[in-house]
A and B are shown apart, each in its own frame.
Chain A
Amino acid sequence: QLYYQVLNFGMIVSSALMIWKGLMVATGSESPIVVVLSGSMEPAFHRGDLLFLTNRIEDPIRVGEIVVFRIEGREIPIVHRVLKIHEKQNGDIKFLTKGDNNAVDDRGLYKQGQHWLEKKDVVGRARGFVPYIGIVTILMNDYPKFKYAVLFLLGLFVLVHRE
């Protein structure tokens, strides 16, 4: 009985992992779904909105697009809009971003001495979104007790359900 439960649990976890990895391959992004963490893109996106990204190399970066990028050395991805691009013949591109709700562009956010972003900083391009759903992730982050409660309940549910 216990063996069966453990196997079942393992199946669920590995299916979820497969779906996630499959999404990563299909979209070309290491993080195909992100949660909006700040209000810098309001009124389009609010904290807690979920964004679906693609990061296909064939898609050129153009102004007006909403990109999710990481600043070198920082973990938190930022969701802003491309304001300027300068692209060379060979495809090398450098670009500047700005949050819709911010008064100034992002140069102040970049690394010391860094004036532009490059392709390697991009996690993906926002192609679609669903509002509010990501709020659960933010809650879990801000209130660790909530996270443990959720995990505990999930575990309980899986175990009890198998009886």
Chain B
Amino acid sequence: LRKNVEDFTGPRERSDLGFVTFDITADILKEKCIFDWNVKQLFLYLSAEYSTKNNALNQVVLWDKIILRGDNPRLFLKDMKSKYFFFDDGNGLKGNRNVTLTLSWNVVPNAGILPLVTGSGHVSVPFPDTYETTKSY
């Protein structure tokens, strides 16, 4: 599982809005045969976790994908833009050096327990100290 990211913050009236582009290379089958007989689908999501002055813990899902049983288990995503707006509750993204991106997934069985698994390995994304005014996204 590997991620590469590029980022910049954009100004919005009252809350910081972050823009992150990323690549994901993942080979799901390698993770000890995750698609066993009782797995219907995997709900994959990339989340950013960070702390700010306003809030001790913030988690924002940037992107998600549903992988059904039988789908191609290898992911080669490049230059992906986040699916959801990365708004902070305040201005905590500016200059934040410690934003961690992690890939996690929810295993949905045909019947039974619903576990949430966090992928090993994460990427730290430092946000710049200034706002971008006219970067096209």
Contacts and interface: CB of A to CB of B under 8 A. Distances in A.
Interface of A: 43-44, 62-66, 81, 83-89, 94, 100, 105, 126-131
A100 B66 contact: yes
Contacts, number: 74
Contacts of B112: 128-130
A69 B106 CA distance: 19
A122 B59 CA distance: 18
B56 A62 contact: no
Nearest to B49: A63
A88 B108 contact: no
Contacts of A131: 110-111
Interface stretch (B4-12, B17-25, B28-36, B38-46): B38-46
Contacts of B109: 129
Contacts of B96: none
Contacts of A88: 54-56
Contacts of B84: 83-84, 105
B58 interface: yes
Contacts of B113: 127-128
A83 B46 CA distance: 11
B60 interface: yes
A87 B56 contact: yes
B61 A89 contact: no
A43 B66 contact: yes
B89 interface: yes
Interface string B39-73: 01101010100000011111111001010100000
A127 B59 CA distance: 21
Given A44-B41, A84-B61, A130 B47 contact: no
A4 to B, nearest CB: 39
Contact of B43 (A83, A84, A87, A100): A100
